[in-house]
Structure 1
Amino acid sequence: MKLKKTYVMACLLGCLVGNLYAQRTEMLLEKGWKFTKGDVSGAEGTSFNDTHWESVVVPHDWAIYGPFDRNNDLQNVAVTQNFEKEASVKTGRTGGLPYVGVGWYRTRFDVEPGRQTMLVFDGAMSEAKVYVNGKEACFWPFGYNSFYCDVTSFLNHDGKQNLLAVRLENRPQSSRWYPGAGLYRNVRVVTTGQIHVPVWGTQLTTPHVSEDYASVCLRTSVENAGRTELTVQTDIISPEGKVVSSKKNKGYINHGLPFTQNFIVEHPALWSPESPSLYRAVSKIYSGDTLLDTYTTRFGIRSIEYIADKGFFLNGKHRKFQGVCNHHDLGPLGAAINVSALRHQLRMLKDMGCDAIRTAHNMPAPELVSLCDEMGFMMMIEPFDEWDIAKCENGYHRFFNEWAERDMVNMLHQYRNNPCVVMWSIGNEVPTQWSAEGYKVAKFLQDICHREDPTRPVTCGMDQVDSVLDNGFAAMLDIPGFNYRAHRYEEAYERLPQNIVLGSETSSTVSSRGVYKFPAERKAGAMYDDHQSSSYDLEYCSWSNIPDIDFALAEDYDWTIGQFVWTGFDYLGEPSPYDTNAWPNHSSMFGIIDLASIPKDRYYLYRSIWNKDEETLHILPHWNWEGYEGKPIPVFVYTNYPSAELFVNGKSYGRQTKNRQTVENRYRLMWHNVTYEPGGVKVIAYDADGKAVAEKKLHTAGKPHHIELQTDYTSLKADGKDLAYVTVRVVDKEGNLCPTDGRLLNFRVKGAGSYRASANGDPTCLDLFHLPQMHAFNGMLTVIVQAGETAGNLELQVSAKGLKTARLVLPVQ
């Protein structure tokens, strides 16, 4: 008996030693989830029966399936940041989707006994209560923040599966836009030995950067080391996969401080939007000869400088931010994160010449930041839309005093190693900016940024210029960021000590794709019976302006360091100017690209200025104006060339040249009195030497004849996640777009994939995204198909009454 006990104890000791030194594992919890909407008593319990719940895959947004309804989160409020003094009924402010309420998720997972185990949530909307095996493991209220909790003490030690249950609640009037609902970002189980590098446990900086060499400083936190002597061996691996620098250092974790190593990288490949080179620091933690943990830190080598009077410099080269603001939703996919969808958006922005993203007004998904690293987008990461003073009755102000620092620290630790991040924002148009004491709150947040990451400056999106110039709020920030108020830039530059100005949010031009209102003239707050906005790109909100003004400021003054346009893509909610009792509008009109990922005309205006490497030549409007024969139709051309000549049915309307007579003439070519007659429109562009270099045509479309399917995708990955965006066009016999067609189209997907969603970009359309049918909007819409997990061919069929069915086949491999 004594020998048997000794044997058992030896086995247990062996298990403990093995777990102490076991390597980390990471498991994504995607499948096997059960979900129900509504508050359910006892749903956290291990004996609760969830067999009748819905089976879902996470990431999951339960509210995107609708239905749209005017009464969903109907808000009677005065929007103070828009200078409203009296409350009014806001319809569609949060997208008209049923995001309010409680949702429960349950799943089970295995962990080897004795392991240190963390649950990592990239985001959970919202007020997450996390239970493991029936016991509350943690609470995290902010739906946009990534967080983790140590669940080691809650795990089963008898080999049984562990139950994970998550309760989420979205309260009414908790948002100004559609926030999504549920476990809309990834959930992971991370296990390690007892001595390990914690979640987001490294900080990597590049104190010196030059073309000849760069210095790299890596600080690695290690938990539970006590007085164990550690050896840390780190290899710096180049973008080509070669080890370019190594260090092996031995020592102790002193007073909880990180383990520090320094490296030299000769002739580094510098990270930039044009060349997003990425390195890896692979660190192995040893006790003697026993490997305890391996941790990889991806990073880029680059320098950033913000110089008074001169502007922003990346790797020693002056440049202006050509950025956009983006909300987190993915249009018809809702808030559920999908890497393929994010990549699709970034490709479109890259083609436009965009080089920067502001995460307005929330902490981003890590997948977005990773893609910006890889694809070459600079980032301003922003955490909050409100601080201690409310914008929304049930907004973040309820948690700010207790949670702001914890939320900020998580964000900073998670993203401070990403080279794409070039500044932090601490907030957007917060009411606190009006207060005489508001600068103290701003300093509190800025100090957290400086403490956790001294390498990047801090800004804030400010819209109350009088207040922030007078009360010290703007002067206290590293970078003064102004939302709109372009006419105040010069005053701010002269009064503020930083002597630089950032357009932290610009333009807010509104437009509906393919909709044109006459005459084409500048209008603030224009509204029409059809609840649309004109795509001549001259309509804007009362607080904002046309894009041309921001282009001119960036071009004329070194001290303006660029802009972040509101917005890159349309998003769900905030249907300005139709937010006040103007249902059925449910999505914004600010986007350069619509909710269906189809570019608006404005896309080509930005492209003509921002994309320096490729030709742009675009004509608007369409040329189907039945009933307008003999009447004047304004024709605009967006091009990177200085001049162009316009022809209608062979008749010249003369050559226009960009000039400075008005700010619009500086960037657009415009013919305001073109007599409409059906037929062909042609534009010929000329270079600076007067040589004809490009030509573009459009034609009056005849009767709708067939459906045309277009996509840039040639194949899909058989991973069950990959998406293809297919543009559906209703065209005449010759293939000309029928720009006024709005018929119902039906979709069918066969083979190695499935139908995921569709959208048409019409902010007034109440068609549900997940049903396999959608009305065209001005002749177009987008169908999103998703690959299965088995190789084969995916076939999309699109049909409509009176039109020939179209088919598209994509290999899934």
Structure 2
Amino acid sequence: MKRTDLNRGWTFRENTGAFASLLGAAPTRVVDLPHDAVLAGGRDPGSENQGNNAYFRSGAWVYEKTIDVPAQWRNRRVALEFEGVYRDAVVKVNGAFAAQRPGGYTLFHVSLDPYLRYGEENVITVEAQAHNDSRWYSGGGITRPVHLLVGPLVHIAPTGIQVTTPEIDDELAVVEVAVPVVNGSITTATTDARIEVLGPDGALAATGTLRVSTLAGETQTGRRRLYIQAPQRWSTDSPALYTARVTLGSGDAEDTAEARFGIRSLRLDPIHGLRLNGRTVNLHGACVHNDNGVLAGACIAAAEDRRVRLLKAAGFNALRSSHNPMSVAMLEACDRHGMLVMDETWDVWTDAKTTDDYSLAFPEWWERDVESLVAKDLNHPSVILYSIGNEIPEIGTPHGARRARTIAEKLRSLDSSRYVLNSLNAMMAILDELAQMREQAGQGSDADSPAEGADSGDINTAMADADDMMSAIMSLPEITDKITEAADAVDILGHNYADVRYRIEHEADPNRVIVGSETFSTRIATYWRLVQELPYVIGDFTWTGWDYLGEAGIARPIYSDDQASGMGAAYPYLLAGSGDIDILGDRKTISLYREVAVGLCKKPVLAVQRPEHFTEPIAPHSWTWTDSVASWTWDVPAGSPVTVEAYADADEVAFLVNGAEVARTPVGTDLPFYAKADTTYQPGELTVVAYRDGQELGRTSLETAGPVAALKAEVEAGPVRADDASLAFVPISLLDAAGRLNPAADRPVTVEVAGPAVLQGLGSARPSHEESFLSDTFTTYQGRALAVIRPTGIGEVTVRVSGDDLGTEVSFTVEP
């Protein structure tokens, strides 16, 4: 079916309900999709979902779009494709109910034919709402793109063609193209299809034909095997993509469809691990949530592509979509950039985690969600794993294990070419037992260590540190029995925070293949060593690769003046703080440590803990890295005490301040590849020198920046086009006279846009604030901010940035 983007010019308002609207509808405004309605609602310390949703308000909204429907469409079939509406979408056409979809991340289609008025304007209405239904910031409204599909009566199904590569060797690849043909007429139809496959260079690689007969109202799938000589394999290093084009019928009855795909093979076993095209690949993975930083929940393709590119540049080769189906745009970016994908289904099944979450709809909708997931993913070579759920509470029960098997078999029936796993938090399987242990602990215990305490019931002792507590609980023998059936239902056992179980699982079942589906970023050195040593452990997915909105302050450094109780932070905290990369796309010091720990960086790396907190120890917290910055510019008096850090694959490091050695310390005393020392802050130059066996391996320096003398704004490389998928990213930084970043003199900056574009978002990575990403003024954090510009037409765009008597401007051209 012909596909047209339907993202421009929707009207938007709050949904006050039918009776309240009699007194006057809420004010409307025009928005372009994708759009996050929650962002405009603002934040409130008394909000329904509290820190889970970054203290943003809940809401209900109405979107409307008027489309012209020509009279000749009477002999066509018309549908809408929604890539995702958060949440509880209700679609109406000319006021008549047409469809419902409760899942907020699920792609779905709506047939418009029964409701259209031909030769007239028609009104599409979409209602959505978001309440206490997520454990992280979800956004709300039509957060993913919408497309209008129009085709002849006999047409290719809206889900499109499906391409698989069942047989591959160096000489030849078999490409099987499945064409689902829908007969929307009242007679039997016989239709011919032409199939072309284009190579990565655009040249014709294979052709074929197909004839399909269908009864009235019937769908038949035609399949054709084509053969490509000397195929180029898709891999993480060389993501070669082919294109399959199908033309069904001819003339006025012609329909077309296109799909990009890759030729690659997968194998899995506990001896060689995961093999891609015959070579073992260890998954250096990152969990990512759905939001796009200053854009919040709006899923605009350019932002998804940017995240994938920056995560790949930081050393990751795999992403886990936590905890919902990945967007089409991000899948396409992963295909282009060679990033492997674990696509996840849900965060809940039938046991709720919040009061209004998807458990209310799961029993009725799960099967259709799985069908949508596979239809979306099947052509994408980046997708190698399906996760059937995250930390499902009922997984350790017979009914939960049975459901796991049912979901896994449903997935396999739709796509047997990929592997299925469940992302278990094994502690969930023994919640009842843990409650009993706590009762016993309350009656007294003489356990001396977390592990001993866990064995004897002293969970309170184990909980003194989350990491030790997790390890102690995860090693309990009760867990093995509880999770066995759920583990047997899948191809790969995904363990969240349970590296202690890797060898236990292997001893219990040598055929088991395991992945660390969610892990503490602070322990990457230990996890990666296990991945390298244990062939049955195929990878590690850190929590998280990219910082996110919601779960406010879960990974913040906790000092004595912290106002919150428990893991979350008090208002106005906004960010989780756990990402290797912050919401602007800049790498944090944990990312620099990771690069050394996994062997991707041979030079030593420098970081400095914030000197203003020198006398305050950070409370132990497993998601929290040191409160450090890669900077030697601080707003403290010279001579102030400070802790300096080095990350190095070395025996020892020496720290030098202005050329004089101030400390020499072994590496690996506290953590692998980590060293630290106390010194005093003296403006100038901080240097670290790494040694092995007394020989210098390398050195790195940080210089003190002078007073801010300039604002810098630059447009990131890449074409900006006049379409719904494009954005221009403009990083803003505070520089001294020598062009060095000054992270210690933050100030508000104002952004103005002239030309065919609008300011879509502006913000910084400051974890706690009360500013709005929708404002044209925002305060920098550590010397940086980011403006995101959305084109509205073709032509020259100028972005002006000003702040504290400083200013700069940058221009770019929006291309057709």
TM range (shorter): 0.7 to 0.9
Deviation at 1:720, TM superposition (A): 6.8
Gaps of 5+ in 1: 1-23, 75-90, 510-544
**Is contact 2:62–2:125 with CA below 8 Å preserved after alignment?**
no
Q: Residue 535 of structure 2 aligns to a residue in which SS?
A: coil
Deviations 1:758-780 (A, max 9, x none): 22111211111111111222332
Deviation at 1:228, TM superposition (A): 3.0
Alignment of structure 1 residues 398-547 onto 2, 5 Å: 398-464=360-426, 467=430, 469-471=480-482, 472-496=485-509, 498-507=511-520, 509=521, 546-547=523-524
Could you tell me which of 165, 169, 174 is aligned with 2:129?
169
Q: Match of 1:341?
A: 303
Query: Residue 284 in 1 paired to residue 247 in 2?
Result: yes
1:404 counterpart SS class:
helix
Match of 1:250 among 176, 192, 211: 211
Contact 2:408 2:489 in 1 (8 A): no
- Which residue matches 1:267? 230
Match of 1:589 in 2: 577
1:240 aligns with 2:201: yes
Q: 1:380 to 1:808 in 2, by over 3 A?
A: same
In structure 2, distance between residues paired with 1:238 and 1:141? 39
* Letter paired with 2:764: N
- Where 1:437 maps in the other structure, the secondary structure is helix
Whether contact under 8 Å (2:194, 2:209) holds in the other structure is yes
Please say if 1:672 is aligned against 2:677: yes
Q: Distance in 2 between matches of 1:218 and 1:689?
A: 61
User: Is the aligned partner of 1:784 residue 2:788?
Assistant: yes
What does residue 618 of structure 1 align with?
Answer: 605
Kept after mapping to 2: 8 A contact 1:475/1:496: no
| Residues 714/451 of structure 1: CA separation in 2 closer, same or farther (3 Å cut) | closer
Q: 1:690 to 1:166 in 2, by over 3 A?
A: same
> C-alpha displacement at 1:36, in angstroms?
0.8
| Corresponding residue SS for 1:196 | strand
Aligned partner of 1:65 in structure 2 is 40
Aligned to 1:529: none
Cα contact 1:363–1:381 (8 A) shared by 2: yes
Q: Which amino acid aligns with 1:197?
A: I
Structure 1 residue 430, shift from structure 2 partner: 1.0
2:279 pairs with 308, 317, 320, which one? 317
Question: Where does residue 32 of structure 1 map in the other structure?
Answer: 9
Structure 2 residue corresponding to 1:56, chosen from 31, 34, 37:
31
Counterpart in the other structure of 2:543 = 566
Q: CA 1:109/1:122 → structure 2, altered by over 3 Å: closer, same or farther? A: farther
SS in 1 for 2:38: coil
SS at match of 2:547: coil
**Superposed counterparts of 1:593-672, under 5 Å:** 593-609=581-597, 612=600, 618-621=605-608, 622-624=631-633, 633-638=642-647, 645-652=654-661, 664-665=671-672, 667-668=673-674, 670-672=675-677
Partner of 2:811: 809
Aligned ranges 1:109-148 → 2 under 5 Å: 109-111=68-70, 112-148=73-109
Deviation, structure 1 residue 447: 0.9
CA spacing shift, 1:150–1:699, aligned 2, 3 Å = same
Structure 1 residue corresponding to 2:338, chosen from 376, 381, 385: 376
Instruction: Determine if contact 1:642/1:657 at 8 Å carries over to the other structure.
Output: yes
CA 1:563 to 1:729, structure 2 compared with 1: closer, same or farther past 3 Å? same
Question: Cα deviations across residues 627-677 of structure 1 (Å, max 9, x unaligned)?
Answer: 57556533223457887653211123577776xx55723x33x23234443
1:706, distance to aligned residue in structure 2 (A): 3.2
Q: If the length of structure 2 is used for normalisation, what is the TM-score?
A: 0.83
Q: Distance in 2 between matches of 1:116 and 1:173?
A: 38
Q: TM-score, normalised by structure 1?
A: 0.83
Q: Please, what is the CA RMSD of the aligned residues?
A: 3.0
CA deviation digits over 1:526-585, x for unaligned, max 9? xxxxxxxxxxxxxxxxxxx53222222222222211111111111111024365462221
Further displaced range: 35-44 or 671-680: 35-44
Q: Does structure 1 residue 555 correspond to structure 2 residue 564?
A: no
Aligned counterparts of 1:721 and 1:213: Cα–Cα separation in 2: 36
Among the aligned pairs, what percent are the same residue?
Answer: 26
Instruction: Tell me the distance in 2 between the aligned counterparts of 1:721 and 1:197.
Output: 25
CA, structure 1 residues 632+436, in 2 after alignment: closer, same or farther (shift >3 Å)? Answer: farther
d(CA) in 2 for partners of 1:787, 1:721: 9
For residues 497 and 555 of structure 1, the distance between their equivalents in structure 2, rounded to whole angstroms, comes to 17
Letter in 1 for 2:488: A
In structure 2, the CA distance between the partners of 1:773 and 1:163, relative to structure 1 (3 Å rule), is same
Identify if the C-alpha distance between structure 1 residues 118 and 812 changes in structure 2 by more than 3 Å, giving closer, same or farther. Answer: closer
Report the Cα distance in structure 2 between the residues aligned to 1:104 and 1:57, rounded to whole angstroms.
10
Report if aligned partners of 1:197, 1:223 keep a CA contact under 8 Å in 2: yes
Per the alignment, residue 466 of structure 2 pairs with none
Provide the residue aligned with 2:732 in structure 1: 728
Residue 523 of structure 1 corresponds to none
Aligned-pair CA distance for 1:421: 0.5
State the partner residue of 1:20.
Answer: none
Structure 2 Cα separation of the partners of residues 60 and 368 of structure 1: 17
Asked if the contact 1:758–1:783 (Cα under 8 Å) also holds between the matched residues in 2, the reply is yes
Unaligned runs of 5+ in 2: 431-478, 555-563, 609-630
Helix, strand or coil for the counterpart of 2:376? helix
The Cα of 1:737 is off from its aligned counterpart by 3.1
Distance 1:643 1:161, change over 3 A: farther
Query: For 1:348-384, what per-residue CA distance to the aligned partner results, in whole angstroms no more than 9, with x for missing partners?
Result: 1111111111111111221111111111111111110
Count of residues paired in the alignment: 725
**Amino acid of the structure 2 residue aligned with 1:592:** D
Deviation of 1:64 (Å): 1.0
Say yes or no: does 1:350 pair with 2:312.
yes
- Using the alignment, how far apart are the partners of 2:285 and 2:359 within structure 1? 28
8 Å contact from structure 2 (residues 236, 338) kept in 1: yes
Asked if 2 retains the 8 angstrom alpha-carbon contact of 1:596 and 1:758, the reply is no
User: Post-superposition shift, 1:51?
Assistant: 11
1:190 maps to: 149
Residue identity opposite 1:30 in structure 2 = N
Task: Measure the CA separation in 2 of the matches of 1:276 and 1:482.
Answer: 29
Separation of aligned partners in 2, 1:66 and 1:311: 47
Deviation at 1:701, TM superposition (A): 3.3
Whether the 8 Å contact between 2:285 and 2:540 is mirrored in structure 1 is yes
